[in-house]
Amino acid sequence: MSENGNSNNITRRYLDSLLIETRFMDSTNPDLSFELFGEHFSSPVMTAALSHLDHFMFPGASEAIARGAKEAGSVMWYGMADEEEIERLAATGARVIEIIKPYKDRDLIFRKIEHGQKTGLLAVGIDIDHPFAEDGSFDIVDGYEMKALSTKEMEEICRASKLPVIAKGVLSERDARSCLSAGVSGLMLSHHNNRIEYAVPPLAVLPEILKLADNVPVFAEDEIRTGMDAFKALALGAKGVCIGRPLMTALKQDPEHGVADYLKNVNAQLGKAMAYTGCTDLHRMDISVIRKV
């Protein structure tokens, strides 16, 4: 794969091309408080939907991220997991959004949603961008075959769920329109850590998708690493952002406090950016402070 086509690199360059103008007059200390699906949190900066952390890192790694998210007042998104792991994450007191793969066995999707309801999760989501393998065939993950969802199937999922359903992996008006017509409660803009090369950066398509979303929250991830990255996404209209790989590094360096410390530092950076631009709370974010070079 060409490094020029690496979607993470493209997204990073796009983020770095976005500059801000300062607005100090009449500004004040910013309020980062965040409301999602009727609940209140300290910040719109959340953890990304990582998976298999106990296998790739160390036993209890996913719970360590959950505890860090709770301490920082953040929502925890989490990816592929069995019921027992999801229950352990919820037991930490963190508010969890479980992201479910597009299993060919659609009944498995409904069973996972039902389990999420019983466990008291904040919401569930569907990885719409993970049906295919590298050769275009349907992917097989942990022995489970995947299959692309239809708009009708997404509608059935939304009707069946008592929890908000988020479509994760949206990068086009076409998919956004289909998911919104199906009744989703949120959209996550993402290329899933370079699942396809030359993907459009999430923030590049954010403005046009916001025009379709009305009051449905739109989130962004991919290369969100700092409070300034988060600020740019929020100023452009994202409801919230997710941070992934940097939290894994923080967790490795300090399993006890690394995640919470990293999120708190990002929140401090976000607060600085908001204060310096006159965006004093999340309802006063202003797209006009962003300039693109």
Q: How far apart are CA 77 and CA 45, in angstroms?
A: 11
Cβ neighbors of 91 (< 8 A, separation 6 or more) are none
Q: Is 257 a catalytic residue?
A: no
**Strand 144-145 vs strand 18-20: parallel, antiparallel, or unpaired?**
unpaired
The C-alpha angle 246, 83, 53, rounded to 5 degrees, equals: 25
From the list 130, 191, 192, 257, the catalytic residue is 192
Assigned token pair, 280: 């004093």
Q: Which long-range contacts (CB under 8 A, 24 or more apart) does 50-56 make?
A: 50/78, 50/79, 50/244, 50/247, 50/248, 51/78, 51/79, 51/80, 51/81, 52/79, 52/80, 53/248, 53/251, 54/85
Active site residues: 192
